[in-house]
Structure 1
Amino acid sequence: MFVSAAALAAPVDDLMVAVKRDSDVTARELIRRGVDVNALDQNGRTALTVAIQEQSAKVLPVLLNARGINLSTPNKFGESPLMMAIIGNQTELAKQLIARGAATNKGGWSPLHYAATRGNVEIMRLLLARDAYIDAKAPNLATPLMMAAQYGSEDAVRFLLSRQADPWDRDTLGHTPLEYAKRGGKEDSIALIAAAQRKRRDPGKVRPLAPLSPASAAELRGEPIPENPESIPMIYPPGQEPAAPAPLP
């Protein structure tokens, strides 16, 4: 028997309505009847995504306990349910999602970026405990430390630095976390990041080692040092060249 696409979509639409109305009884009955809890609505959202957006407190436990639910399906903007819970300051829900195995890493903007933006150290700690990448790169190469520096809190910056976040990472415009802290006008974070940069050499300014002289190379290899090794020309900064020796009388 032919079943139209509209008829197939109807149960999913009914579930979305139940979610928006926060009707746990209806949502539970629809799931019992086999509605796909991972289906997308016309805006590319799952029922879980809609429930988080609407803060449907009674429906959320029903969805979280539904068999086969995908906790990490992103919306059309690439935001996972965990990211949406974090940015919406729904900390307890975010903790539940992490505990239930929601993805803590993803390409582009990540949950750690969002937690850093909110300055939520508690969630950042949980994410890192689940192997979230501390220097995750957004599409513009911004890192969680940059987000914490501009939008988050001093505690968030201090926490990330204590976990070895790179203070010298650069975005696509070449800005480091220090520029982000200055942009946010956060004096305490500016001081923390500046201190971290002083302790850690800027990898962009590290010069490669000069090649070994033939004599040094032979010594390292345990070989006889050449009697007449080639001289290594000395290169001086402009204006600091040694004066030429005076001519012999």
Structure 2
Amino acid sequence: MSLITIILKPFYCSQMADNRTRIQQNDLLLHEAVIKNEPAAVREALQRPTDVNCRNNYGRAPIHWAASRGNVEIINLLIEAKCDIEAADKFGMRPLLMAAWHGHIDAVKTLVGAGACLAATNKKQNDLLQCACARGSLDVAGYAITLGAKVQSSDAAGDAPLALASRAGHSSLVELLLQKGAYIDAVNKVGRTALHVACEGGHSATAAFLMSKGASKEARDNSGRTPLHLAAVHRHTELVRVLLDAECHVDAGDNNGVTALQMACAQGCRGIVEHLLAFGANVHLQNNVGSSALHAACAADANDIVELLLAHGADPALTDQWSQSPLSVAGGAAESPPEGFRKAARGSFSAILDLLTATANLEVPQEQADGSTSPRVDDKSRGHSPAPNEGVEHDSER
């Protein structure tokens, strides 16, 4: 290394560092100009030394921001500056997918015209059509279909465009997809149909439309749940009424034998309970471990629902497979809530106890010294789980 090089090296290093700092500042100015939707500021930033493909912490370049804002003028400026139109951010979103996600049809057409890949997907395997459907962009979805997008394609979760549109409640888009041949009862990886996911999201109009087009009202997901189960567990009162009006099976049980009524009681949702009872829901049904709707209401500390169930003939003496009655659940004798139901914070259980004891004229279970509870005076199981045939006899005796 020559003496001159040794002398000038610190100067060169300092100058290179200054240049890098200046370029980084210009990169930030370019990002800011695109984000603010200011074409003039973008032109000025591109005239300075800058990296047109510079990324932020999310891996997004200026073209991503331009696509998400739908500014065709800025998109064209960046394309002229030789930006990478296939750049993917940390979520796998490319500019074309960003434009579709935000519903900017002109931006989508501009990027397609510039040669953007039509088969590109993000990390969830959402393609152009699926991005449009998830966000309810009817124009972009229709355009994607004209470009050859498949209405039966599915993402990483197994959701087809119809399911994505239904989950978000975009009824007009659902209608378009059905017209283009989408299979109405296609299931995702957890076995849910478009009607299932519409009910999960509480979209009454979309659910009603799907049923009017022939969607299966009794379809079961991998847990054995019907659309009515999902509407009940997610507390969608209006939707439950829509499903009941469409003659969905009110007493359908899932793989655990849990009914929509039991779910609504566990959630403490009186409105749904009233609808289900009005359509004939059976208050005596027990799930696979013997818990009833009354067990669930007691565990949820839902005094008004307990009263409603008792008025419809619910049996406070009904026991589960651990010989726990609703009375023992309300009295706190049970170590845990009924299987499959949440445990509410203990608060107003004295009112529930009063209701149950007044209805059944039963004694509240007393805790023994060893922590166990004494069996009720009328409990023929004497603290033991009844055999299957004993349960049948018990029903006939009543």
Could you tell me the TM-score, scaled by structure 1's length? 0.67
Mapped to 2, the partners of 1:207 and 1:56 lie a distance apart of 47
Mapping for residues 1-249 of structure 1, pairs under 5 Å: 13-20=127-134, 22-53=136-167, 55=168, 57=170, 60-61=173-174, 63-107=176-220, 108-151=224-267, 153-198=269-314, 204=392, 205-207=394-396
Q: Which 10-residue stretch deviates more, 8-17 or 188-197?
A: 8-17
Mapped to 1, the partners of 2:293 and 2:171 lie a distance apart of 40
Question: How far 1:177 moved relative to its partner?
Answer: 0.6
Unaligned runs of 5+ residues in structure 1 are 1-6, 209-249
Mapped to 2, the partners of 1:52 and 1:152 lie a distance apart of 27
Pair member with larger Rg? 2
Q: Which 10-residue stretch deviates more, 145-154 or 166-175?
A: 145-154
Give per-residue Cα distances to partners, 1:153-173, cap 9 Å, x unaligned.
212212212222111111111
Alpha carbons of structure 1 residues 193 and 105: separation in structure 2 relative to 1, 3 Å: same
Q: Which residue of 2 aligns with 1:239?
A: none
Question: How far 1:152 moved relative to its partner?
Answer: 5.2
Mapped to 2, the partners of 1:42 and 1:155 lie a distance apart of 36
Mapped to 1, the partners of 2:174 and 2:279 lie a distance apart of 33
Paired amino acid for 2:248: A
Give per-residue Cα distances to partners, 1:52-76, cap 9 Å, x unaligned.
44x3849735644532222232221
Mapped to 1, the partners of 2:307 and 2:236 lie a distance apart of 20
Q: Which 10-residue stretch deviates more, 152-161 or 176-185?
A: 152-161
Paired amino acid for 1:183: A
Paired amino acid for 1:79: R
RMSD of aligned residue pairs (Cα, Å): 3.2
Alpha carbons of structure 1 residues 21 and 177: separation in structure 2 relative to 1, 3 Å: closer
Structure with more relative contact order (C-alpha pairs < 8 Å, separation 6 or more): 1
The percent identity for this pair of structures is 29
* Equivalent pair of 1:52/1:81 in contact (CA under 8 Å): yes
Paired amino acid for 1:19: C
Could you tell me the TM-score, scaled by structure 2's length? 0.44
* Equivalent pair of 1:20/1:56 in contact (CA under 8 Å): no
Paired amino acid for 2:146: R
* Equivalent pair of 2:265/2:305 in contact (CA under 8 Å): yes
Paired amino acid for 2:301: G
Alpha carbons of structure 1 residues 16 and 153: separation in structure 2 relative to 1, 3 Å: same
Mapped to 2, the partners of 1:42 and 1:119 lie a distance apart of 28
Number of positions where the alignment pairs a residue of Structure 1 with one of Structure 2: 201
Q: Which 10-residue stretch deviates more, 80-89 or 187-196?
A: 80-89
Mapped to 1, the partners of 2:282 and 2:313 lie a distance apart of 9
Paired amino acid for 1:206: D
Mapped to 2, the partners of 1:79 and 1:43 lie a distance apart of 11
Mapped to 2, the partners of 1:194 and 1:27 lie a distance apart of 51
Runs of 4+ in structure 1 deviating by more than 6 angstroms, as ranges, are none
